[in-house]
Structure 1
Amino acid sequence: MNRRHLILCLATATPLAGADWQAPKPAEKVAPQAFQVPDGLEVTVWASTPDLFNPTNLDIDAAGRIWVAEGVNYRRHNGRRPGGDRIAVLQDTDGDGKADSSHTFVQEKGLVAPLGVAVFDNVVVVSQPPDLIVYTDVNRDLKFDPATDKREVLLTGFNARNHDHSLHSVTGGPDGKWYFNNGNCGAIFTDKSGKTFTCYGDYRGGGGDWFVPSHSELGKVSDDGFKWTSGFSARMNPDGTAVEIIGHGYRNSYEHAVNSFGELFQNDNDDPPACRNSYVLEFGSAGYFTRGGKSYRTVKRPGQDHGRAHWRQDDPGTFDVGDIYGGGSPTGVVFYENGALGKDAAGTFLSCEAGRNVIFSYQPEVQGAAYKMERKNWMNSNLDGKFVGSDFVGGGRAKGNEEGTTDPKLFRPSDVAVGADGAIYVTDWFDPRVGGHADLDDSCSGTIYRIAPKGFKPVNPKIDLATVEGAIAALRSPAPNVRWTGFDALRKKGAEALPAVTALLGDPDPWIAARGIWLLPYLGAGGTAKCEELLKSDKASTRLVAFRALKRAGKDVYSIAQTLAKDPSPALRRDAALAMRGLPADKAAPVLIEVAKGWDGKDKNYLEAIGLGAENQEPAVWNAMRDALSPGDPLTWNDQFAKLTWRLWPTTAIDALKKRASANSLTKEQRDFAVESISFIDDPAAPDALFALISEDSPSKPEAMRWLFTRGTGDWAKFDLNKKLKETGIYDPSKVELTEVIMPGKPASTKFGEQDVMKLKGDAARGKTLAARCTMCHHVNDLGPHYGPDLRGWVSRQGEQMAIRAIIDPSADIAHGFEGTAIELKDGKWIDGLVISDGNPLVITATGGLTQMVPKNRIKSRQHMNRSLMLNADQLGLSAQDVADLVEWLKGY
């Protein structure tokens, strides 16, 4: 389609119902033939602008209507649509595979780039910080009318409006619960049961409107008795009661998906390059924040890989990292179980990656207490692997091609869903830029693509939730939130639905059969008995779902957990351990001890489940484990018991750990591990033990000093260790000598431009030699600090021209997470650099990798730098030919 035709389409389009705005530029989209998808599937355009604009999220109802949350007023464009953003409804009324109708369900000034929409029959849930809003379309006319319909703020207290790291979409679970998540802006909210949850994190940036001071509530215990950090997942009853936090410590998980086995999967964003897709261990921490709510940067270990440091994989208290794939901008996800794609696609987790112009696919495979996740490109418009317009490649913008065509790298998938017809639907935000809280497409173009078998004819089965048969049909639906309506209807029918649900258990499709298990405890005594019978199944997945169904329905599962603690499946033993959470130690310990006996000494999730099951009872549980497992004298502990102690961080183990740390009979690694184990114990006796190791001049003295500084200026700062740190020479603020580091200003102009370099032929051998200059800031060929972004694969990711531009003018677009800060000292000196830790002392790294600790009482002011911390080509003494040579070498690095 050429541009003239696009203009005509826009000009002659039927105005949208309730629309008060039209884009100033003609709409664009990526051509379907630009995409690579699995064999046998094809991509078609289901709808495009002006039927929708800037789609942030979608959901699909039983009739195949697609509901879209829009973000026309996103970020700096707030106010572009004066009437506010909206929820649009798009329909294919004639069944030809394309939308032919679009209208507004609701538009409000208070809707500012909402990040979530979920549809449960005639109930529409919109995620709009600070509120989670529920609209009930009473007369079912698909238009919200306050005179006849209902609007309720179900929950409130979520940071922040018009911010990507805020409240995300609701998803219906197989257990009848509603699931939602929130990014690391944090939240303080009270559920309808009267319980208040505080999700703390030290992040407070990126603009937007903030509502609650979650960043200042360090260490506050929520009303459920536990401490939570921001970036979290929750589930609740649809009426807003009985909220449970079921995962935390995220950076910004845009969306999560819960499958019919009750397994939660999500993606999560990064400080480049460490985006991930993972299984969420129930109640576990992803690791972006420490237990004290501090950034992972504050506890990064010397030489530690960035990905492992980013998600604290070498620390106790975090779940398995899953698949780290590097830099990106992950968005919507869905779990495909049944539908038009065929049996081979069943069990596929799809994850949008807007920064890479791709949707990844995984078929998670049980691996102990976690999942093996092998990544594939499922829908991809970036066939050369050169990324543009994303933070992790320096930002910038993708450029359109010749007149009448559109660069496939403007494809920015914001969400993916499974329709009631079994096809996959993807919303495209379409923009030259992604991340950095920016958008550059003034047309606000948006497209919905359908991915289905070639020649696919959509059929949306008619569903009557008033009948058992109709509710069963809904429960069989490929669309997750349609399935939820089937569950809800059958649960309300009680024992009447038991025969039909029992028949469903025999379905040859394991995903459909599992959906019936969750209902059994709600269908009378016969249903509960049937569910308990399934605990004896020879299939581990069936036993697992039956156990979860009973527990989620509020049944007493303690005796069942005692049996499952010895189950052959590590996944069942994991869940038995998690079921102990919140119980007194005398009940929890026997089960946790049995679970511990089955640990292989390596499975991180398995060990973490034991720790989570013992939370708030760790010393008593550890004492019981010590007595039951009989590890003997501390110097004879095996590595498995030492690791159990490390994870349980018990105060009662401090003396034993101190003995191990001082023992010359143990290896250095064993002694260091004992010191590390003490450092994770949140009690004043722990630093006292490390100070004693120093005074006794034990062989672990250097390690004890290192951890004392890390903890004493971090999570142990609350114990006021400054005097002892000073006396022992570990840290004396008055003796800290600071070096002034002032970055040269950005030159008004450069001696040459990117086009000058593009004309030249590069010499890779010479470029390798020139790369030595990069080691002032970048880690290259095992040399240089981890100060600037990783250059390995950099040119292949972003393309030659973008790499040249970044070297010539690095301030043109600064990679997210590498923004500079200028610190003004009270003595008049300045330090420009990257803030690594914002505690006391503030830790800042400057060009060349110089890292300094700056006592807070010596700081006069601080300000954001408006230029890059990287010197440009002229300042580095690079000629146009030098840049060409350097980029040529980097192509293969």
Structure 2
Amino acid sequence: MPIQLLRNPIILCFTCLLAITACQSPESNTSTTTKTDTLTEEQKHLPENALRGLTVAEGLVVTPFAEEPMLQNPTNMDVDDRGRVWITEAYNYRPAINGNPTNALGDRIVILEDTNGDGQADTSKVFYQGPELNAPLGIAVLGNRVIISQSPYIWSFYDSDGDDKADRKEILFQGIGGEQHDHGAHAVTFGPDGKLYFNFGNEARTLKDAKGKVILDGKQYRQGLTLRCNPDGSQVEVLAENFRNPYEVAVDSYGALWQSDNDDDGNKGTRINAIFPHGKYGYTDEMTGAGWQSNRTNMEDSIPLRHWHLNDPGVVPNLLQTGAGSPTGMVVYEGNLFPERFHGQLIHCDAGPNVVRSYQVQAAGAGYTANTENILKGDKDPWFRPADICVAPDGSLMVADWYDPGVGGHAAGDQVRGRVYRVAPKGHPYKTERYNYKQLNSAMQALESPNLATRYLAYTALLQMGDSATAALQQHWKQTGAGPRMRARAFWILLDKDTKNEVSLLREAATDDNSNIRSMAIRAAVTKKSIGLDTILPALVNDRSAEVRREAALALYHYKGADGPSLWTTLANAHDGIDRWYLEALGIGAEGQWGPFFSQWLTTNQQPLATAAGRDIIWRARTDKAIPLLAQLAADNNTPLQNRLRYFRAFDFLEGRAKYPALLKLLEQQQGNSLEGNRLVLQALDIPSVRSSPVAMKALDQVLDSLRGTAAFIEMTGRYKVKHRNSELLQMAVQKSKEPLGRDAASCLLQQDGTPSIKSVINGKDTAASLALLRSLAGVGNTASLDILQNVVTSKQYDSTLRKAAAGMIGWSWSGEERVLTLLKAGKVPKQYIPLVVQSVGGAWRGSVKEEAASYLPEGSQKDGTTAPPAFAELKALKGDIAAGHTVFTSKCGLCHKAGTEGFDFGPALSEIGSKLPKEELYRAITQPSAGISFGYEGWELKLKDGSSLSGILSSKTETDLEIKFPGGSKQQLKTSSVKTMTQLKKSMMTDNLYQQMSLQDMANLLDYLGSLKKH
């Protein structure tokens, strides 16, 4: 989908599309409407039946505001101060990939308005349409300025004459990822401090200003970012990093930030984050950039948690993990029209599971907990795809729905539908108050609005007014009866307006009875470049509220005051040894200053290992001064090893070589008494230290003895180039030839000059061993392995049994497929083995390879396997069998996909795919796998410097190492320096003809089985 919404396609190496749900009569609630199952599939998708598929929260009703053809494919939305709904459309979404038609005039920005007061839009105006507008993903209406996010640009459109038409367009930012990329720039939000907030996903990489000057280089930060800047685009700040694809920043009146993020599809790890300034959020390894699937010490016990490196020091916790989904727009509801339980809470769209949710957040120490309540759910219509939400001026909620059978992955199943709903308590018609922003009292009233566009105009007007506005703002600030959020809004304007009194204003806020206001005071001082920070921090580091102390810790980030170490020590001494949020705030505050901060802390903690809090701080520290203490914790045999894993992992976050002597000493102390402990130490050491230390090499041998026959044995043998273990690798290659272990052992053996020993087995008298070793070699696919297989096929010195086996396996790898074509073209394949060599590429996903190879078969033996996929109507007419479908999944899909605990981790997991995609979209994913490929699951061809090539999915890539994943879940680690070229494949790694391998009944069964995989 265009987008944002998308962010979580989950389907067999291919993904989905989007959709929207339509409208009906006002004041309707799904609990009183006709059951959806009385309608045909076609009828369900008509606008007049839209509300039948929706369920709304108690105390609220949903009514239609607009529907197609007034709008189509809405990706993002804003509501202006007049109650008009602004929509960005994406008709032209990814046509080169999904094959959909395009509009040469370009995509549109439309304004939907209810002019007669009946609660439904009756006019639709085109604010702008142009060929350069391709599936924009964000819109913010700020007076006569409309900010549009569309990678690689963020534009400012201006309506100077008020005719609802854009008069001019300016570049605000550029260079943000590729054009139309879902993981690029997302919507801009206006903050209470007058700043603009926005984010982008992990495809963005750079940020340039209007003139093309680089502001941010992607190499400076990890993955997706949260950012802030002045309204003119100056003073860009990175607020947080290492997200996968955050959709939209939500900012409350106190300046606290929230956003959603989506996981690699199918891993049930989508999340909601509270944003700590300068926080790191763990999508990839903080130090190396390795992907979450790469092996590491102290890995989390489940994939949804592992996905975010939550056990690593330096990763800010998630507020919530919301399971499988495609998270989209989010707001902080600061109105009072909704029932009280929603006041001040987060409201969020998740297009994947067809839901708009409220997250009712409560403080918990320095962090948060939250309860979830659905506000609007597409229970009976899986095409409901809420793309964005906004709070209207009257406090009602507007929901943009890109009605579609799927959610993302560069595909779109429906281009013409699109809807907007209004959610409000029953009996509240849609009315919008008009404000005169030039009049003080009216502008002050507008500042109280729950609608951001209205508050922006009020902020701007009040900032420009004279002393009377200052007095009015001060009155609101000082009157607690005005409500804390309104006081906060007044505070931010005063801070910019009354600069002579800004320090005294900060002091007032810092001593306020409300902890949110005190926290705001610290944020404000930091935002104002630490003006007054040194005057308020000494008191606030002792604040009774952990939330306030958290903000004080965060404010110490690069703090220059001489009292920094003592302030941090006071805060650190208040850590309870339990609160991870607080600990991470301390870590952020100490960044770049760990030496003096940690030293000061030690002076007040003579026994730092004696308390959980002390051990926490040592684990989180990034200074060489912590190394001796960390080593003691790692070596403490009185503590179960499982509880010490975190300390071994912490060594990975200490840069420099000072840690290596301590680790080697730890090996000496253990004297082989703890093989697992030795293994952990070896993993924390660098390779030169291990190979140059007799103690380490002895420990390595002992560890390898304990790991014989395992993947870890192969990994460690290869890492340290332990060639005297080649005989054991050879044994594994023979004995485990039907498992990925056999291939990996053979690959490692070839890299360690083991070719002579391999040839000795193949040339030996044990035919079974020779055949097994050939099988392992066939999966390797490098030049050395293919040379051996080719020699067996073409050399008469081998008997026919081996030659036939080698011929039937030589094309089992990507490089093997190419070797097959080379040999056939050159006429080097003996005639009797041509059918077997051609058969070896029968599983190739590249149809061109199979077709070209088949052309060398004898006359009359070629097969024409091109048949069109069956029509969906044919499949729908068949009665499916879920149990039989499970069998089909196991045999046809399980090599690349997991469903629950079954299958292999290659393509997106399908454990809850039935909650996300209706049958027609599952059908499309099977028959047209290249029409939508999940981001992060694209296939890559790697040509190596040794002449071989590999194809698979990159599961991890750093500056020095990369990991490629193959069907069946196996992986191969490579040095980046060994790769000559990397080319992204345009087609899905899933075979295009999977449907040809199944009967109609088999496919019907499979669709029923996949449809049954739902969240329970």
- TM bucket normalised to smaller: 0.7 to 0.9
Change (3 A) 1:710 1:91: farther
Between the two proteins, what is the percent identity of the paired residues?
Answer: 31
Paired residue for 1:271? 264
Distance 2:242 2:558 in 1: 20
2:128 to 95, 102, 106: 106
1:853 to 959, 973, 995: 973
2:51 to 6, 9, 32: 32
2:795 is the counterpart of 1:673: no
Distance 1:236 1:380 in 2: 35
2:231 is the counterpart of 1:251: no
Return the letter of the residue paired with 1:229. R
Return the letter of the residue paired with 1:615. E
Using the size of structure 2 for normalisation, the TM-score is 0.71
Paired residue for 1:588? 564
1:271 CA drift (Å): 0.3
Paired residue for 1:142? 164
Paired residue for 1:519? 493
Return the letter of the residue paired with 2:441. E
Q: Cα deviations across residues 424-444 of structure 1 (Å, max 9, x unaligned)?
A: 11112222222111112242x
2:311 is the counterpart of 1:314: yes
Contact 1:45/1:98 (8 A) holds in 2: yes
Distance 2:658 2:215 in 1: 29
Q: Cα deviations across residues 40-61 of structure 1 (Å, max 9, x unaligned)?
A: 4322222223332322211121
1:816 CA drift (Å): 5.6
1:810 CA drift (Å): 8.2
Paired residue for 1:207? none
1:269 CA drift (Å): 1.4
Contact 1:281/1:605 (8 A) holds in 2: no
1:522 CA drift (Å): 3.6
1:139 CA drift (Å): 2.3
Matches within 5 A, 1:27-176: 29=47, 31-76=50-95, 80-146=102-168, 151-176=169-194
2:271 is the counterpart of 1:290: no
Q: Cα deviations across residues 581-636 of structure 1 (Å, max 9, x unaligned)?
A: 1113843221211111222212222111111111111222222212222235xxx4
Give me the CA root mean square deviation: 4.3
2:607 is the counterpart of 1:631: yes
Using the size of structure 1 for normalisation, the TM-score is 0.79
Q: Cα deviations across residues 771-827 of structure 1 (Å, max 9, x unaligned)?
A: 799987677786876556556555566568877998999889766644555666677
Change (3 A) 1:547 1:808: closer
Query: Residue 382 of structure 2: SS of its match in structure 1?
Result: helix
Contact 1:192/1:239 (8 A) holds in 2: no
Distance 1:49 1:753 in 2: 27
Change (3 A) 1:112 1:512: same
Contact 1:130/1:160 (8 A) holds in 2: yes
Change (3 A) 1:416 1:722: farther
Contact 1:275/1:327 (8 A) holds in 2: yes
> Considering only CA atoms, is the larger Rg found in Structure 1 or Structure 2?
2
2:200 is the counterpart of 1:182: yes
Paired residue for 1:683? 656
Change (3 A) 1:164 1:707: farther
Paired residue for 1:394? none
Return the letter of the residue paired with 1:280. I
Gapped runs of 5+ residues in structure 2?
1-21, 24-44, 701-716, 724-747, 751-775, 780-811, 814-842, 846-864
Paired residue for 2:515? 540
2:811 is the counterpart of 1:835: no
1:325 to 312, 317, 322: 322
Change (3 A) 1:808 1:158: closer
Contact 1:722/1:731 (8 A) holds in 2: no
1:324 CA drift (Å): 1.3
- Counting matched residue pairs gives 807
Contact 2:922/2:1007 (8 A) holds in 1: no
Higher relative helix content: 2
Q: Cα deviations across residues 277-320 of structure 1 (Å, max 9, x unaligned)?
A: 22212221221133344433335555741121211111112111
Paired residue for 2:712? none
Distance 1:107 1:803 in 2: 33
Change (3 A) 1:683 1:512: same
Distance 1:124 1:751 in 2: 45
Contact 2:226/2:240 (8 A) holds in 1: yes
Distance 2:206 2:869 in 1: 53
1:32 CA drift (Å): 2.6
Query: Residue 298 of structure 1: SS of its match in structure 2?
Result: coil
Distance 1:315 1:761 in 2: 46
Distance 2:1005 2:90 in 1: 43
Paired residue for 1:280? 275
Contact 1:679/1:687 (8 A) holds in 2: no
Contact 2:223/2:283 (8 A) holds in 1: no
Return the letter of the residue paired with 1:368. G
Distance 1:132 1:873 in 2: 42
Distance 2:648 2:640 in 1: 13
Distance 1:466 1:862 in 2: 59
Distance 2:74 2:869 in 1: 42
Return the letter of the residue paired with 1:241. S
Change (3 A) 1:536 1:700: farther
2:228 is the counterpart of 1:229: no
Change (3 A) 1:883 1:420: closer
Matches within 5 A, 1:541-620: 541-554=516-529, 555-584=531-560, 586-620=562-596
Contact 2:406/2:921 (8 A) holds in 1: no
1:497 to 452, 463, 469: 469
1:463 CA drift (Å): 1.4
Contact 2:227/2:238 (8 A) holds in 1: yes
Tell which deviates more after alignment, 651-660 or 465-474. Answer: 651-660
1:253 CA drift (Å): 0.9
1:79 CA drift (Å): 8.7
Distance 1:161 1:761 in 2: 41
Query: Residue 954 of structure 2: SS of its match in structure 1?
Result: strand
Q: Cα deviations across residues 445-475 of structure 1 (Å, max 9, x unaligned)?
A: 2222222233432222221222221221221
Change (3 A) 1:461 1:700: farther
Query: Residue 480 of structure 2: SS of its match in structure 1?
Result: coil
Q: Cα deviations across residues 511-558 of structure 1 (Å, max 9, x unaligned)?
A: 333322333434535676455334333322232234434443453122
Distance 2:898 2:75 in 1: 36
Matches within 5 A, 1:420-819: 420-443=393-416, 445-493=417-465, 495-504=467-476, 505-507=479-481, 509-524=483-498, 529=504, 532-554=507-529, 555-584=531-560, 586-631=562-607, 636-664=609-637, 667-669=640-642, 671-687=644-660, 689-690=662-663, 693-694=666-667, 702=676, 705=679, 731-732=719-720, 736-737=748-749, 739=776, 740-741=778-779, 742=812, 744-745=843-844, 762=881, 786-787=905-906, 789-790=908-909, 792-793=911-912, 795=914, 798=917, 817-819=936-938
Paired residue for 1:401? none
2:391 to 418, 431, 445: 418
1:711 CA drift (Å): 8.5
